[in-house]
Amino acid sequence: MDDKCEPSRASLRSRDTEVDSIRSLVLKALLVIAASMILVAPVIANPDGPPNLNLEQDPTIDFGCTCHGGGVASDSVIVKIKGVPQAYEIGATYNFTISLSHDSNTEGGFLLSDRGSGTFTVLEEEGVREAMGDPDSVSQSSSGNDWLVPWTAPDSDVGVIHFSLVGNAVNGENGADEGDAWNILTFSIAAPGTATVSDDESLALRTISVGDYDNLFKQEVDPEALEAERQEELAHNYFEYGNLYYWTTLSIIIIAAVVQGEFYERRFGGGPEHLDMRLAVPQGIRRGVLFIGLSYLFFWSLNTGKPYGWPLVLGMLALWAGYGIFRTYSQAKAPVRVEDML
């Protein structure tokens, strides 16, 4: 046999080495692909709506989307449904509108169930589909925050129908993470003839929502309106406190002038003039009654919360009446001078 027809041992070893190298490369590639699938699974998981069972294998419709938002429901997302009747009519169809609202997460998904009591109409053009693993529920077929879901009541009276709606607002980053926010809304529709239904269609249908009150009614703040409000408050404070400081200062000046007048009269004028007791007694009584009345009104204005002008004016008048009593007493006690007897 010709040795040239048989492969050499060296060539066989080289071929085995190449095969091992290719096998190693394929194995590494498979490992990389598997690792990539694990990493991106949260990103691409459930693109057609939440599954029937959540991460803990509990019903999502009852326990929420626990793979999102740290596994805890959040009031920061507003889950709302419009077009809900007070009581259903047998076989009637109602158009529900589901929406989500969040401060930063603009899109998400939902899962709605009536426990198999009625029939949901799937509108693919509205981004709605039958829920995965639960033919009695519907969910979104694509991310959004506004979906139309027609619901047809049962053909017979089945009593009160209970609904559960799970809404999940996602941040669109790194799949299911703590930046997402979900909430659960439960509501019911009464049986036919068991609830008062308004003839006005706008009042017969309800809008039901769950979430934080502040988030529910949050409005965009207009910077110009905010500045105008600040300027108005500033002007009001300047006017109010300006008047308060002005009249208070004026009152202090008047009191200081009276005290100064008393000082100069006693130091350089020989004191107050004498007043006969026959005149001093009735004058003191009149001024005393006036002082008591004004003092009563002063404390009344304080207790009833009157504007600061009331107690300020009444207080000054009461002090003036009290000063009048003091002057009457001082004049009655003053010694009789020669000129007083003429």
Cβ contacts of residue 89 below 8 Å, gap of 6+?
153, 192
For residues 249 and 307, state if they share a domain.
Answer: no
Find the farthest-apart pair of alpha carbons in the chain and give their distance in angstroms, rounded.
174
For 180, phi then psi, to 5°, come to -80, 160
For residues 258 and 291, state if they share a domain.
Answer: no
| 268 or 45: which leads in pLDDT | 268
Q: Across 11-25, 27-41, 214-228, 236-250, which has the greatest mean pLDDT? A: 236-250
Please give the Cα distance from 257 to 254 (Å, whole number). 5
Overall average pLDDT of the 12-23 stretch: 60
For residues 70 and 93, state if they share a domain.
Answer: yes
Confidence band, pLDDT 50/70/90 cuts, at residue 83: very high
Q: Can you give the pLDDT at residue 163? A: 95
Overall average pLDDT of the 150-166 stretch: 94
Overall average pLDDT of the 266-290 stretch: 90
For residues 318 and 300, state if they share a domain.
Answer: yes
Overall average pLDDT of the 251-258 stretch: 90
134-140 and 146-152 strand pairing: unpaired
CA 296 centroid distance within chain: 46
| 106 or 236: which leads in pLDDT | 236
Please give the Cα distance from 303 to 324 (Å, whole number). 26
Q: Does residue 18 fall inside a structural domain?
A: no
- Does residue 295 have a pLDDT over 50? yes
Q: Does residue 39 fall inside a structural domain?
A: no
How many Cβ atoms from other residues are within 10 Å of residue 279's Cβ? 12
For residues 88 and 182, state if they share a domain.
Answer: yes
- Does residue 218 have a pLDDT over 60? no
Domain end residue (candidates: 150, 185, 216): 216
Cβ contacts of residue 159 below 8 Å, gap of 6+?
191
For residues 91 and 209, state if they share a domain.
Answer: yes
CATH number of domain containing 171 = 2.60.40.10
Confidence band, pLDDT 50/70/90 cuts, at residue 59: confident
What is the pTM (predicted TM-score) of this model? 0.49
- Does residue 179 have a pLDDT over 60? yes
* Alpha helix segments (H runs only) across 201-305: 201-204, 213-216, 223-268, 277-303
pLDDT digits (tens, 9 = 90+) for 112-147: 999 899 999 999 888 898 988 888 899 988 788 889
Average pLDDT, the chain: 81
For residues 64 and 211, state if they share a domain.
Answer: yes
113 forms beta bridges with 137, 164
Q: Can you give the pLDDT at residue 24? A: 65
Overall average pLDDT of the 71-84 stretch: 86
In the chain, the number of structural domains is 3
Q: Can you give the pLDDT at residue 17? A: 62
Domain end residue (candidates: 216, 250, 282): 216
Q: Does residue 88 fall inside a structural domain?
A: yes
- Does residue 6 have a pLDDT over 80? no
Buried b (16+ CB within 10 A) or exposed e, 23-54: eeeeeeeeeeeeeeeeeeeeeeebeebbbbeb
Q: Does residue 22 fall inside a structural domain?
A: no
Cβ(99)–Cβ(204) below 8 Å: no
Q: Can you give the pLDDT at residue 69? A: 62
Cβ contacts of residue 113 below 8 Å, gap of 6+?
61, 131, 134, 136, 137, 163, 164, 165
Q: Can you give the pLDDT at residue 74? A: 79
Q: Which amino acid is at 72?
A: V
Q: Does residue 66 fall inside a structural domain?
A: yes
Q: Does residue 311 fall inside a structural domain?
A: yes
Please give the Cα distance from 288 to 246 (Å, whole number). 29
Overall average pLDDT of the 158-164 stretch: 94
Cβ(94)–Cβ(83) below 8 Å: yes
How many Cβ atoms from other residues are within 10 Å of residue 229's Cβ? 11
pLDDT digits (tens, 9 = 90+) for 309-319: 889 889 999 99
Q: Does residue 159 fall inside a structural domain?
A: yes
Please give the Cα distance from 269 to 262 (Å, whole number). 10
| 50 or 13: which leads in pLDDT | 50
For residues 92 and 179, state if they share a domain.
Answer: yes
Please give the Cα distance from 52 to 28 (Å, whole number). 35
For residues 211 and 226, state if they share a domain.
Answer: no
For residues 189 and 71, state if they share a domain.
Answer: yes
For residues 212 and 117, state if they share a domain.
Answer: yes
Domain span including residue 189: 60-216
Give the start-end residues of each E strand in 86-214.
93-101, 107-113, 119-120, 128-131, 134-140, 146-152, 161-170, 181-189, 205-210
Q: Can you give the pLDDT at residue 132? A: 83
Q: What percent of the chain has pLDDT over 90?
A: 35
Q: Can you give the pLDDT at residue 171? A: 78
Q: How many residues does the chain have?
A: 342
Q: What percent of the chain has pLDDT over 70?
A: 75
For residues 241 and 209, state if they share a domain.
Answer: no
SS (H, E, C) 36-52: HHHHHHHHHCCCCCCCC
Q: Can you give the pLDDT at residue 39? A: 39
Q: Does residue 163 fall inside a structural domain?
A: yes
Among 33-42, 70-79, 90-99, the range scoring the smallest mean pLDDT is 33-42
Please give the Cα distance from 170 to 47 (Å, whole number). 12
